[in-house]
Structure 1
């Protein structure tokens, strides 16, 4: 296939030397190039028509000379041009034949169409030949695609300082200074954060006083391990990015990729279920809150102890009081599963949870974490500084 010649007209052109008959027809056709014929005819007719004269080919009518329809062409006599035979006209164009056109009809006739048909036949033959090896080609394509992915993951791991995660059979998730692989490329500096499920964590706090004391007595794979992590903090403090980066790190580890962290120990996870973003569509008659609720229902039905569930501010799409109740009921549903509770990371702005103690107190599976904000005075003005930790 001659890709250079076939690009302008969006047609397939077979290269020279592939088929002898095709090359002979092209040589004959090129010898009668229409642009050359048009220039020759233009020298024999009045100047009023020669500048805009063209030669075209219609499969049913043969070769024709075309000139633009001019304003003085109102009667049959006005269409007469010496040396040309009038054929027909349209609203903008008049078509003629000359002796040379008749000769071309006889000598090369439908050669242009024959050349096109010949090329189509050759390409079809090529397709038939290649299709015999389609299973092998599909296998090769799959291997190349996998190799391409592995090389891309290896290059990213080296370029962006990823580490090899430790994959274990136990139900544990521990990430030290994890980072979001995309967000960290969009800013000058990115602050890494830890996450720990199934191991003792110094950062977890009891729900008894809304974040006053450290959570303790968390044993690996035991019933008292942290299973539900509740994260609070102001807007733009990094809560959603934190949820996404944990999900991405777990996903990348299961792909066999290095991960953006200082260290990571990840147990085999059967599902990553998210309630982070509601994608609305005119094709579905559903509100954003309905979509959110369906996502939560899916998490309830399909999650196991080995699942990771990410919930970002569920309940904010309905009445405030209803949202608080639904969010609390969702967390309690997971906690009631005991040792079969999945690993749950959730964020919320519902402060009523702590003011009215709506969640179980001193529950060993539940930990409250918050994004730190530094509040200070600069130049006699109170300032808030997000620490993104």
Structure 2
């Protein structure tokens, strides 16, 4: 009823409604999709920036590319369906000749889903019907390639389109116009009436010449000739000289139309009918072609549900062949998916970074998150050493595995994840009045409030957007909450520069310290991009600054300050490099709750009771009571 009231005629196109159940798909929020770079969202790159979609996209059809995006947005939880996809990808990767033949055929398939939709909605064009014809034409070559293979799980339910295919191929021209009013829709030989009208239009001159010759034979007047003008149309002309000399005798069915100085012009009833027939040929051709095209469209739409199913099958085949092509090209392996909770990957590689590296090979790293052992990896190490890449690799491999793709690794065993949360990078949201740190805290709160037993959590440098002690305290508390206080056992990859957090592995057995390997020699430091067991003792930030090109005096001063800070555990202020400033004693950070209390006091102090009406005074009293209760509630929550 709702669709009938809001969509009007479009409702006839809808045959079935499929519910999208969150319990059937791995949940990826917008932030996670952006942080993992599933798609390119940067306009300046014209949609061609590195992304997981670009890496996996070898699709040959519009339908396949559209379905690949849908699969990436909604990875599956159903192990049975995932294994069917894996079987298909494995067969395609191992059978190169069949894979290439299938990809060539899929490249010739058109967007059957969209074409049938437009025709159903009455907005279709001849090219849409031609797209369906071209796709059906390829089915006899495509379907045998899938028979007796894992792909038959998809192609087995395709209906028999042989009759419709033969009719469309026989009826429609090869090159169809965009607009049906342009004509040229129906092949010659398909319809006798249309061929007759086309013959009339094409042979107008010959038909008139034949009629004049016929009149000459009947009347015996050899000097009769035919002519045409815009006023009278076609006519027969006899010279006045022949008429005056009595050389000719005109039959009674000649109708005088015009008298000239040197000639007389006549028409006949048969000539008039022939002229009308020639004049109406173009409109009759358009009418007949339109009627035939409408009939073909109607018979095609009678099978629109089967055509929609065909489109979904072809798009799935396109995505699967794309996976097979990438797996073969990049050396991906089939991950072992199970209903457990562990993620164990040997020598994993970041699929997007690996594709972009042309001058040097990608350094693989293993991932091991076990629920019963170490499910939280605390990763420390310098900037530019590969921490963020390592975090993203784990999440991307889970996404790839749960869409049915193979993964870049030597071996992989994964329990199905139902959610992936990420807190990566720094950005603000000025339009909504949120600072960089506020955005970070909102995203962290969303993660901590929605954890499940099967969640994978990626946290990169939590707490870096505020002061050192505030940030470290937040990061410490978040890590403790994930270790014991969240009520479930999610898998966590936690990267940080707060080396003080590394002591937590002694308190919580589920935490394991990992770090990024660095090689130091007389020439400087070299990032090995390898993850090793144990914690890092330095972040090498000054070395990264040197690589970035900071001026030498700045680097020298930074190194001096670093040495002073490292000597004093309390981070006392070192002697100032330039003009000394006086420290203001007694200054401390005011909490949000103290600020709230101060605001209420200031509001009361600003009131002038003598000027308030009774109603306004009562209104202000209610407002102050509510604000006071809110401040107390906030304090209670913070202390609990």
Pair 1:130-2:275 in alignment: no
2:6 matched to which residue of 1?
none
CA contact (8 A) 1:273 1:309 kept: yes
User: Alignment partner for residue 186 of structure 1, among 349, 356, 364?
Assistant: 356
Matches within 5 A, 1:1-389: 1-2=172-173, 4=175, 6=177, 13-17=184-188, 18-22=190-194, 119=289, 121-187=291-357, 188-198=360-370, 221-222=371-372, 225-276=373-424, 286-337=434-485, 340-351=488-499, 353=501, 361-377=506-522, 382-389=523-530
Provide Cα deviations, 1:252-279, integer angstroms capped at 9, x if missing partner. Answer: 2233333211121212322222223578
Say if 1:319 and 1:27 are closer, same or farther in 2 by CA, change over 3 A. farther
Runs of 5+ consecutive residues of structure 1 not aligned to the other structure:
33-104, 199-220
TM-score, length of structure 2 as denominator length? 0.39
Say if 1:8 and 1:122 are closer, same or farther in 2 by CA, change over 3 A. closer
Runs of 5+ consecutive residues of structure 2 not aligned to the other structure:
1-171, 205-274, 531-640
| Greater fraction of residues in helix | 2
Q: How many residues align?
A: 287
Deviation, structure 1 residue 313: 2.6
Deviation, structure 1 residue 372: 0.9
- In the aligned structure 2, how far is the partner of 1:122 from the partner of 1:324? 75
CA contact (8 A) 1:166 1:265 kept: yes
1:96 matched to which residue of 2?
none
Say if 1:383 and 1:278 are closer, same or farther in 2 by CA, change over 3 A. closer
3-state DSSP of counterpart to 1:308? strand
Say if 1:108 and 1:12 are closer, same or farther in 2 by CA, change over 3 A. closer
Deviation, structure 1 residue 371: 0.9
Say if 1:338 and 1:292 are closer, same or farther in 2 by CA, change over 3 A. closer
Say if 1:339 and 1:117 are closer, same or farther in 2 by CA, change over 3 A. same
User: Larger Rg: 1 or 2?
Assistant: 2
CA RMSD in angstroms, aligned pairs only: 3.7
Say if 1:22 and 1:266 are closer, same or farther in 2 by CA, change over 3 A. same
Provide Cα deviations, 1:101-134, integer angstroms capped at 9, x if missing partner. Answer: xxxx988779777766665554443332222212
Provide Cα deviations, 1:138-165, integer angstroms capped at 9, x if missing partner. Answer: 2222222222222222332233222222
TM-score, length of structure 1 as denominator length? 0.61
Deviation, structure 1 residue 290: 4.2
3-state DSSP of counterpart to 1:336? helix
Deviation, structure 1 residue 179: 0.8
